[in-house]
Chain A
Amino acid sequence: MFRTVETISAYYANPQRFMRLAGALHAPLWGVTILVFAVALYMVAHVPDDYQQGATVRIMFVHVPAAWMSLFAYSFIFFASVTALIFRHPVGHVAGRAAAPIGAVFTLIALMTGSLWGQPMWGTWWVWDARLTSVLVLLFIYLGYMALWQAIDDHGQAARSTAILAIVGSINVPIVKFSVDWWNTLHQPASVSRFARPALHADFLYPLLMMALAFTLLFFALTLTRMQMEILRQRARARQMARLNEADD
């Protein structure tokens, strides 16, 4: 199993081969994403109002998947960075760079929708609660990662430095979570983590899971598109440099 994964991953370390795969996957992936999104939105539109929260409960169908995706995208960047550093996998670096702004936007959406929900429910836009704080710190980690990519001119060096930062950050995320939990807690505990008997009624659970699937597909579709763009950009740059060198000779 591991051998197969390794072989496949090594095969696509060649950006040329990866681009062929991405080209073939591109249209079907976007098609499925749009379809699942349509179904999920339809399901969410037909969710009954919550007896306590009213229609405000619908914010949760954006908030919860976005919050999941903020962590999922970071894990993706972490695995891409580890692969890129250990196996010297150039597409891994591209994947990390492509996923970062998407993860950051998901994090921002989670924070903003949470704020919109908190205003009527808790009576305030923002509280310094453990979860909110740790998600805010996660946003800063994303911003640091993106800023480092932007600041280093040399592509190879930027790729390796940001990969190291992503790994350091992934050790940091659980520590931040643990320390802010100790510091202050108000947010309700996760209600879907208990898979055997979720605390959520089925009327809410299935639309939520469908939205989560739609968000995950959207993440992969956007990441794939951005990876293609990044590889094309690198090629254009390489050609430009080659042309400049010719002009010099």
Chain B
Amino acid sequence: MMGIFMSLCHQHMLLAWRSGHTTLIVSFLFIAITLMPFGLGPELALLRKLAPGLLWVVMLMSLLLSLDRMFQADFEDGTFDQLALLPMPMELIVLAKSLGHFLALFVPLLICVPVAGLLLNIDASSLPVLMLTMLMGAPALTLLGAIGAALALSIRRSAMLTVLLVMPLYVPVLIFGATGSSRAISSGGEIELATLGILALMSLAALFMAPLAAAAALRVALR
């Protein structure tokens, strides 16, 4: 069981890398960040103030855009029918895919955050706080995204629909992640434990509940 789980996760990562999906998503992050000064003006003081929130929002958008690749390719070429025959519950398949998605897309995005932050003149001392909140929220973001991706599975050109389905689920994570890190940064880099705790709670709750919902949605689509 563990072997299958790891190989599924590994396969998802390899596919994301080799199909260039990771590069595309990372480029999107940088493009969106580059557009910000054109829209908001090049004032460094203003950008520094807005940087943590902007980075959180752009991070969410990048992740939202990546979701339609979570199960879609496997579904279209028939791989998923084979996966459904595995002696493994669908919930674990969802978890394996989500872990692969996290490692192949979220981690590269997270690594780019300091560089993108540099473009926005972010205060270097606030980066650890920002990245810590992102990392704490990551399981919730990936797993809630899996629900949306699974629900929109049988629909062609489902990217926009996935965004609409997942956006309300992301709102609480964004609020605690972005507002929490902005507050911490403005108060001198000390993050409130409660904020981190709530993010961790959301991630744990998503870890238990999201695979159930996503697996149920996948079973409906495979029927």
Contacts and interface: CB of A to CB of B under 8 A. Distances in A.
B175 A183 contact: yes
Given A151-B155, A161-B221, A179 B168 contact: no
A164 B219 CA distance: 11
Nearest to B209: A171
Q: How many interface residues does chain B have, given as a range? A: 20 to 34
B99 interface: no
Interface stretch (B13-21, B52-60, B109-117, B159-167): B159-167
Contact of B152 (A141, A148, A178): A148
Interface string B142-170: 00000100011011001001001101110
B68 to A, nearest CB: 13
Given A144-B168, A147-B164, A167-B213, A179 B176 contact: yes
A180 B179 CA distance: 11
Nearest to A156: B223
A236 interface: no
Contacts of B217: 161, 164
Given A143-B164, A148-B151, A172-B169, A161 B220 contact: yes
A128 B78 CA distance: 45
B30 to A, nearest CB: 28
B154 A169 contact: no
Q: How many interface residues does chain A have, given as a range? A: 20 to 34
Contacts of B164: 140, 143-144, 147
Q: Which secondary structure dominates where chain B touches chain A?
A: helix
A120 B166 CA distance: 35
Contact of A144 (B165, B172, B175): B165
A169 B168 contact: yes
A27 interface: no
B107 interface: no
B216 interface: yes
A2 interface: no
Contacts of A165: 151, 165
B179 A183 contact: yes
Interface of A: 137, 140-141, 143-144, 147-148, 151-152, 154, 157, 160-161, 164-165, 167-169, 171-172, 175-176, 178-180, 182-183
